[in-house]
């Protein structure tokens, strides 16, 4: 990685951001701005508009007009594909700039950010661009004298609200299929991670995307997000974030036009390690990275470690040894293994979970506190809490930080029960050399993805979605198109 280039980009001032509405930059309608505070050092990096409900309405109106006149939806799929492929190329060409900008904004370590943000976003946009002219309609198997055709049509205006942990990656999971299918989009970034999404919207225009097709409005969720959710002109709403916000979006749908709402709401994912795991050293290494990379700010993070009692103490020590070797600090240093926590508020929430566990008598096997406070940034040591009881808050609620809850088990049946003892159902993992056990656990664990002898591995070819209170619908894979295409039946009497 080009360290000199990273340092040069780090030193570059960041111009104040603007909404992108109908193909042009705009300030907030009342001129208000929000400070962008870098978690690297706690200093103000730049500002972005503090959007208003009027700004959201203007973006929705632009998206509706662009959809209605067909400047995008009526293009042949191959023409939309060409624009999207140019866009992906521009994102890739500007990958280091985007990665550094994103790291300064949200604190992800640069080695992870390069792969998981611009490069992942470019790959997702290419995937859906290449797929769109390969989706066919259907001919129904009707009787003689009738002809039934099933058409796939874009739904219209999509509202997309994305989180701060991987804004480009998660944004592209939504923008790729939504735009490829011919929809127009109003995108609302998180308050603490807007800069890279504003930048790729500029690149979309440079690639030839018509004005009004992709609009980005920054601001507070309670204002801009709520206005998008309540709009009568938004047809589908997609969201990744907290369960509390997801519930408010469903309520807004009910109050407005009953728009479809697809939610990815995080998890409390179990990572189950049996004594017969094929390589316990590898399991410890992968499990450590599965919770501590990006300071635990990953929706599928393996935040509950369930370990067979016979290997419990030895495995926890293996895990701690790996975590001790991870460098926590400046996320723009390529040697850093875990960067900054996104905000001071998030850091305080992480620490509160640890203090509650400590007060309950749980053993802090590693970490447990804030570090590098002298930098002004928001850093937390990788933390392992052993002896956690299944009904502890730390075992039930998502922390979204580098805090691992460890729970022992004795039998496969107990491990299954513990794995499912949560309101969430996003991800899980099972480590075992017993193939039959692996298949049993995959079937029995209630989660959208179950890893076997790994953690966190998948690509765009497979769907990502949750069950229970982890949400509905799927990002990634061809199944993502289901959210953005309507089925229309044409019935002919011959």
Give residues with Cβ within 8 angstroms of 84, minimum separation 6.
125, 126, 128, 129, 176, 179, 180, 207
Task: Please give the mean pLDDT across all residues of the chain.
Answer: 97
Indicate the number of domains in the chain: 2
Q: Are residues 290 and 254 in the same domain?
A: no
Per-residue buried b or exposed e for 345-384, using 16+ beta carbons within 10 Å of the residue's own CB: ebbeebbebbeebeeeebebbbbbeeeeeeeebbbbbbbb
Give residues with Cβ within 8 angstroms of 420, minimum separation 6.
444, 445, 446
Q: How confident is the model at residue 1 (pLDDT cuts 50, 70, 90)?
A: confident
Q: Are residues 367 and 249 in the same domain?
A: no
Strand partners, 489: 150
**Spatial CA neighbour of 466 closest among 243, 237, 239, 264:** 264
Summarised one tens digit per residue, pLDDT across range 391-430 is 999 999 999 999 999 999 999 999 999 999 999 999 999 9
Largest separation between any pair of C-alpha atoms in the chain: 79
- Mean pLDDT across 128-148: 95
Q: Read off the CATH number of the domain in which 135 is found.
A: 3.40.605.10
Summarised one tens digit per residue, pLDDT across range 293-308 is 999 999 999 999 999 9
Cα separation, 162 vs 121, whole angstroms:
13
Cα separation, 287 vs 289, whole angstroms:
5
pLDDT given for residue 457 in this prediction: 77
Strand partners, 65: none
Q: Which of 109, 117, 264, 398 is catalytic?
A: 264
Q: Are residues 395 and 447 in the same domain?
A: yes
Residue 464 lies in a domain: no
Cα separation, 324 vs 137, whole angstroms:
54
Give residues with Cβ within 8 angstroms of 438, minimum separation 6.
430, 432, 452, 453
Cα separation, 63 vs 82, whole angstroms:
21
The β-bridge relationship of strands 157-161 and 184-188 is parallel
Q: How many residues comprise the chain? A: 494
In 3-state terms, what secondary structure has residue 291?
helix
User: Among 26-40, 449-463, 474-488, which stretch is predicted with the lowest mean pLDDT?
Assistant: 449-463
Angle, alpha carbons 411-416-417 (nearest 5°): 100
Summarised one tens digit per residue, pLDDT across range 62-76 is 999 999 999 999 999
pLDDT for residue 58 is more than 90 = yes
- Mean pLDDT across 114-121: 96
DSSP symbol at 63? H
Q: Is 264 a catalytic residue?
A: yes
Cα separation, 164 vs 62, whole angstroms:
25
pTM of this structure: 0.96
In 3-state terms, what secondary structure has residue 50?
coil
Q: How many CB atoms lie within 10 A of CB 249?
A: 25
Residue 255 lies in a domain: yes
Angle between the N-to-C axes of helices 280-292 and 312-325, in degrees from 0 to 180, rounded to the nearest 10:
50
Q: Are residues 454 and 475 in the same domain?
A: no
pLDDT given for residue 69 in this prediction: 98
Residue 465 lies in a domain: no
Token pair recorded at residue 288: 């450590």
Summarised one tens digit per residue, pLDDT across range 139-196 is 999 989 999 999 999 999 999 999 999 999 999 999 999 999 999 999 999 999 999 9
Token pair recorded at residue 396: 């039930």
Cα separation, 138 vs 230, whole angstroms:
34
Q: How confident is the model at residue 484 (pLDDT cuts 50, 70, 90)?
A: very high
pLDDT given for residue 257 in this prediction: 98
Q: Are residues 320 and 387 in the same domain?
A: yes
Q: Which stretches of 155-256 are assigned E, i.e. beta strand?
A: 157-161, 184-188, 214-216, 236-240
Q: Are residues 204 and 257 in the same domain?
A: yes
pLDDT given for residue 441 in this prediction: 98
pLDDT given for residue 203 in this prediction: 98
Residue 393 lies in a domain: yes
Angle, alpha carbons 167-168-174 (nearest 5°): 90
pLDDT given for residue 456 in this prediction: 86
Cα separation, 369 vs 351, whole angstroms:
7
Contact (CB, 8 A) for 21 and 62: yes
Q: Read off the CATH number of the domain in which 399 is found.
A: 3.40.309.10
Q: Are residues 156 and 202 in the same domain?
A: yes
Percentage of residues in the chain with pLDDT exceeding 70? 100
- Mean pLDDT across 128-136: 96
pLDDT given for residue 192 in this prediction: 95
Q: Are residues 12 and 154 in the same domain?
A: yes
Contact (CB, 8 A) for 212 and 187: no
Domain of residue 340, residue span: 270-459
- Mean pLDDT across 239-246: 96
DSSP symbol at 210? P
Cα separation, 9 vs 14, whole angstroms:
10
Q: Are residues 152 and 31 in the same domain?
A: yes
């Amino acid at each position: 990685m080009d360290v000199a280039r990273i340092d040069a980009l780090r030193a570059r001032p960041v111009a104040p951001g603007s909404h992108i509405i109908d193909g042009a930059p705009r300030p907030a309608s009342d001129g208000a701005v929000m400070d962008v505070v870098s978690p690297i050092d706690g200093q103000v990096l730049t500002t972005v508009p503090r959007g208003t409900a009027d700004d959201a309405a203007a973006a929705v109106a632009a998206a509706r007009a662009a959809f209605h006149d067909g400047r995008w939806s009526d293009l042949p799929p191959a023409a939309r594909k060409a624009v999207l492929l140019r866009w992906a190329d521009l994102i890739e060409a500007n990958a280091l700039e985007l990665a550094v900008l994103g790291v300064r904004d949200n604190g992800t370590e640069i080695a992870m950010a390069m792969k998981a943000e611009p490069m992942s976003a470019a790959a997702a946009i290419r995937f859906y661009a290449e797929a769109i002219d390969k989706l066919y309609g259907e001919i129904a198997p009707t009787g003689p004298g009738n002809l039934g055709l099933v058409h796939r049509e874009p739904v219209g205006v999509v509202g997309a609200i994305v989180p701060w942990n991987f804004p480009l990656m998660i944004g592209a999971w939504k923008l790729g299929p939504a735009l490829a299918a011919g929809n127009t989009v109003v995108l609302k970034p998180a308050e603490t991670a807007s800069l890279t999404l504003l930048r790729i919207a500029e690149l979309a225009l440079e690639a030839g995307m018509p004005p009004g097709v992709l609009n980005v409005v920054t601001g507070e969720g309670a204002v801009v997000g709520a206005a998008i959710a309540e709009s009568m002109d938004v047809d589908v709403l997609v969201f990744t974030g907290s369960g509390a916000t997801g519930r408010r979006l469903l309520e807004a749908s009910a109050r407005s036009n009953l728009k479809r709402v697809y939610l990815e709401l995080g998890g409390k994912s179990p990572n189950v390690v049996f004594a017969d795991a094929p390589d316990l050293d590898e399991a410890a290494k992968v499990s450590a990275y599965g919770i501590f990379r990006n300071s635990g700010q990953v929706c599928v993070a393996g935040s509950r470690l369930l370990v067979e009692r016979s290997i419990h103490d030895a495995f926890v020590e293996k895990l701690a040894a790996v975590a001790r070797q991870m460098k926590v600090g400046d996320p723009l240093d390529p040697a850093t293994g875990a960067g900054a926590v996104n905000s001071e508020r998030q850091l305080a929430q992480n620490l509160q979970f640890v203090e509650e566990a400590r007060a309950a008598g749980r053993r802090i096997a590693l970490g447990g506190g804030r570090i590098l406070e002298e930098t002004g940034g928001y850093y937390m040591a990788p933390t392992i809490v052993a002896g956690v009881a299944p009904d502890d808050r730390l075992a039930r609620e998502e922390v979204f930080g580098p805090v691992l809850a460890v729970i022992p088990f004795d039998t496969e049946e107990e491990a299954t029960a513990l794995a499912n003892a949560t309101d969430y159902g996003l991800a899980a993992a099972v480590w075992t050399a017993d193939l039959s056990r692996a298949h049993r656990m995959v079937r029995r664990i209630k989660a959208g993805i179950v890893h076997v002898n790994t953690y966190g591995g998948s690509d765009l070819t497979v769907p990502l979605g949750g069950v229970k209170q982890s949400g509905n619908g799927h990002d990634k894979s061809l199944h993502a198109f289901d959210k953005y295409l309507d089925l229309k039946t044409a019935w002919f009497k011959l």
